[in-house]
Every structure is written in C-alpha cells, then in structure tokens.
Structure 1
Amino acid sequence: MTKPNPRVLEVKGIADITPNMRRMTLGGAGIQGFPIEQESGYIKLVFAEETGKKPIMRTYTIIQQRDDEIDVDFVLHGLNHKGADGPASHWAKTVQIGDTILIGGPGAKKLINHEADWFLLAGDMTALPAITVNLARSYQPINFISN
C-alpha cells in the first residue's frame, strides 16, 4: 500500500469542547481527494519548529468528517504550567482561523467489534476522540462507567 501524499489543510474552525480540550476543523483546497468515512482513522500533523530543524510529527484521531472538512480534538496540556505543553498543544492554543498545517494520512481506523458480548475501552484524555467515535457508532445500547 502506498502512503498518501502530504497535504496542507486550513484551520476553518476552533471550538473549546472543555477547558482542556479544543476541536479544530480542518479543510480548504487540500482536503480535495481525502478518503471518505475516515472517522476514527488517524492523521499525522507536522509541526515545523525552527528553520533547519527536523519537523515534529504528532498523531491525532479524526473525530468527525464531512465532505469538505475533518475535526480533530487536541488536549491542551500545561494550562496551569508555563512551558509544559508540547508542540501540538502549543499550536492548538495559538492557532487562528486561516492558519495552515501539513498533514499525512489518513491511517487505519480503530473500530471496535460491536458484535462482541462486551468490550473495554480505557484511556486518558488523549484517547477520548477514538473512544467517542466508537461509542457514537454503536447501534446497540451501551452501559459504561466513566471515572
């Protein structure tokens, strides 16, 4: 399988889901030809730190997809600790509508088998987008415990 070409996407929307989670809507001309039905798949975001240094990549789950946009949720690390955030969290805190980001992907979807008698989904805040997609795709009632 060949790797998809990187593409530049534009920030079309920014929404705070919680005080520690921010949703970015990405789209623009670069979304053309992006495969359909990629919710729970992942993309690689490429953050250029400084000129001459190797770019930093981070992996994020596609939480929602429409014809011309995808939504990606970011945990805002280090809100109470200056300098404690990484490149993706820093970008998510400072990005503005119209800014662009280089992405790769999409990569494989992470879907659970809804035919199973039971399943366990566990994770920290960074896992919430993948867990959310799986719960939303369920066609049967789900009992769950959250802590």
Structure 2
Amino acid sequence: MTSIILYSSSNKQGNTAQSVRALAQQLQADTLFLDDYDIGDYCYNHTNRGDDFRSLFRALLNYDHIVFASPVYWYAVTPRMKAFFDRITDFMDDETLRPELRKLRTKEFSILSNSINETAPACFTEMIQKTCEYLGMTCRESIHHQYPYEGDK
C-alpha cells in the first residue's frame, strides 16, 4: 500500500514537520508540503483553475492512503489545508471531473495533528473525517502529538 502525507504549517520545519518525518519513515510514505503550492480559495466561477490544485489532487489519486497533517490553529486546520479541502468541490462541480473524484472511494485516509493539548479537538478531526467519509474514503487512524508551548521564538 502506497502512502503520502499531505501537510501544511506556517513553519515548514516545525513540530508538524517533525511528526510528518517520523510517520513518513514508519509508513515509508512520500511527503508533500502543501504550502509550497499555489492553491487559491474555492470560487464558484472557477477562475483559479490555472493554479496547482488540480494537478496536485490528481497526483494524490496515485496513492492508496493519504495522511492529512496539520497543526491545530484555533480549532481548525491551516488555511492552506482548508483551501485544499474546499477546492475538492471543483471535481464535484464538473461532470467531466467526477469520475476522477470517485477514485477516492478506494482510498484510505488518516489524520495527523499536533498542538499543546493532549488531543485534537473534535471539531478539528470531524471536519477532515466527515469530508473524507462523504467522499467515500475509509478512515485508518487519527494520530495527535502534544508539543509544549514555546512562546514567540
């Protein structure tokens, strides 16, 4: 089974990256830093179809297992990760793209999060879990790492 970890954070080498590296080694997974890509917000008129989202999404379809990794920012995923999830709607809006979207039905997903708390808040994991399950994906696991608050370093 092939795995990829799709992650986002305001600090490319921070706690989330540390958790991603450890899990990637364990799973022998590829990693992809979402913030390195140009992904616009969802737009009803699809004026942003020239950005990186569609090619990135198609690349993920080559994996059996997708891990979505993000720090917990105010009970939510990072803005870039949220934009990624919102943009999946591009494939729902266009009948010619829906067959590609349906490929998610054969995929597994996991959630990797981190914060100063022992567990991720339910609203954080539920957004990812409910979206992925709506798309027909199967949840493998949810992993949370607690890191101490280090202030404004």
**TM-score if structure 1 supplies the norm length?**
0.23
Query: Rg bigger for which structure?
Result: 1
- Greater percentage in strand: 1
- Greater percentage in helix: 2
**TM-score if structure 2 supplies the norm length?**
0.22
